[in-house]
Amino acid sequence: MFLTAVGFYIASPLYVKPKASTSLFTGFVQVLVVSYKNRKVPIPSENSGYHHGADSKITVPSEKLRFLNKACIIRDADGSVPSTLDNPWSVCTAQKVEELKALLKVIPIWSTGIMMSIAGSQHSFPVFQASTMDKDFLGGCDRPAASLTVVICVTVMVWIVPYERVIIQLVSRIKGKQVYLTVCLRMGLGLFLSVIAMGLTALVENVRLCKANQEGLVKYPDAMVNMSAMWFLPQYIVMGIAEALNIYTRAVRVLSSSVPEDHVEHS
């Protein structure tokens, strides 16, 4: 960690550090403020009357979250045409409105990561459990309790290739057509497997406590229980698959493709 930090600061003069021309959140606040100010202004029946930049690819806002479209209507709250279109606190562009909609659209998907974060942050308790168990594996020396969590990382790396090259191809051959798991389905499977992993954690702890009770070690938290720490492998493997399905899909496939291009540098 120390060498990483030192290397980061030594190489910092070589980094490209473009200055942001606009704030990430100022434009979003402007859309909310202007749409509220124009809340009584009727939405145009035709695809006209919307403000857009000269080089903007978006000239008309979408029909989703239509109340935000009032932020780019070329009308003030009193119905008059504004004297200037250069004030973003009076009228916003259609592209800026769509950028806010894109952000609001990914918030529910982003929030699914809360459950994954909760499940993935429970590594300290299994480490405490493993410290009181037999960590001898295949006749070798005892391994540090914390080293068992590396199984999650290994599972994530190993899972990707069989999933793309074996599982999907096998299912496609059985179905007789190319099969793809949708993004939402993969994320849902990841959440489901994270619940299974937490259930396995509870099961292992129940077995460990039963063993400790049988051996009369309940009152001695530092005593070694006659139980292998390899009991944790199933939950770590399941958690690794869950992270591969959910986190990779959510972060790479969904969030990165939904963030507006001119705001990617801020994310």
pLDDT one-digit tens code per residue, 143-168: 677 777 788 888 888 887 777 777 77
pLDDT at 209: 84
Write down the pTM of the prediction. 0.67
Whether residue 220 has pLDDT greater than 70: yes
Q: What are the backbone angles phi and psi of residue 170, rounded to the nearest 5°?
A: -65, -45
- Percentage with pLDDT > 70 across the chain: 82
Helix 183-214 to helix 113-120 angle, to the nearest 10 degrees? 30
pLDDT-based confidence at residue 266 (cuts at 50, 70, 90): very low
**What is the rounded CA–CA span in Å between residue 238 and residue 230?**
14
More confident residue, 253 or 52: 52
Return the minimum-mean-pLDDT range out of 22-26, 33-37, 39-43: 22-26
Whether residue 57 has pLDDT greater than 50: yes
pLDDT-based confidence at residue 175 (cuts at 50, 70, 90): confident
pLDDT at 250: 62
pLDDT one-digit tens code per residue, 8-29: 888 888 887 777 666 778 888 9
pLDDT-based confidence at residue 189 (cuts at 50, 70, 90): confident
pLDDT at 139: 56
Give mean pLDDT, residues 103-121: 78
More confident residue, 258 or 86: 86
**What is the rounded CA–CA span in Å between residue 197 and residue 203?**
10
Q: Which residues, other chains included, contact 159 with Cβ-Cβ below 8 Å and sequence gap of 6+?
A: 240, 241, 244
Rounded-to-10 torsion of CA 96, 101, 102, 107: 130
Buried b (16+ CB within 10 A) or exposed e, 205-220: eeebeeebeeeebeee
pLDDT at 267: 45
Angle, CA of 31, 32 and 38, to the nearest 5°: 85
Element (H, E) at 244: helix 233-248
DSSP sequence for 20-70: PSS-TTHHHHHHHHHHHHTTTSPPPSSS-SB---TT-S--S--STTGGGGG
